[in-house]
């Protein structure tokens, strides 16, 4: 049972435009969500996170939106840059009762110059 789903395996965006990456989850116990970026031959790198007490968190060009009723989160990158081309993973955890983080399958973003 895939508790965290990223239904778009890939996304192409023109440089300077907005990239929107989506993530859905099924477990209502999840209360903390993270996005990671991964380049080839490297481990994932933390990008941004959001607690379930918020519906938006912003850090520079990156904004994460959380819609708890829809069990949906999205990562917005504005403006997109060629260096943003990577695989993006969303992850979720329930901060009480477990230390486990559940990752989605990833979305490969390609930003075209």
Nearest approach, Cβ of residue 9 and other proteins (Å): 8
Nearest approach, Cβ of residue 53 and other proteins (Å): 14
Nearest approach, Cβ of residue 11 and other proteins (Å): 16
Q: How many CA atoms lie within 13 A of 95 on its CB side?
A: 8
Of residues 57 and 79, the one with the C-beta less far from other proteins: 57
Query: 3-state class of 84 per DSSP?
Result: helix
DSSP string computed for 24-70: EE--TT--EEEEEEE-TTS--EEEEEEETT-SEEEETTEEEEEETTT
In eight-state DSSP terms, residue 63 is E
Of residues 24 and 36, the one with the C-beta less far from other proteins: 36
Nearest approach, Cβ of residue 41 and other proteins (Å): 7
> Residue numbers of the site for other proteins (CB under 8 A)?
4, 32, 34, 36, 41-46, 49, 89, 91, 93, 95, 98-106
Of residues 45 and 81, the one with the C-beta less far from other proteins: 45
Of residues 15 and 38, the one with the C-beta less far from other proteins: 38
C-alpha distances out from residue 5 to 14, 24, 40, 83, 107, Å: 25, 5, 21, 25, 10
């Amino acid at each position: 049972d895939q508790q965290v789903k990223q239904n778009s395996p890939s996304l192409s965006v023109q440089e300077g435009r907005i990239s929107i990456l989506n993530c859905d989850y099924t477990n209502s116990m999840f209360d903390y969500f993270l996005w990671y970026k991964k380049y080839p031959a490297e481990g994932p790198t933390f990008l941004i996170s959001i607690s379930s007490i918020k519906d938006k968190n912003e850090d520079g060009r990156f904004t994460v939106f959380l819609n708890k009723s829809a069990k949906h989160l999205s990562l917005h990158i504005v403006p997109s840059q060629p260096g943003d081309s990577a695989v993006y993973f969303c992850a979720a955890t329930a901060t009480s009762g477990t230390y486990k983080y559940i990752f989605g399958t990833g979305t490969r973003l390609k930003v075209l110059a």
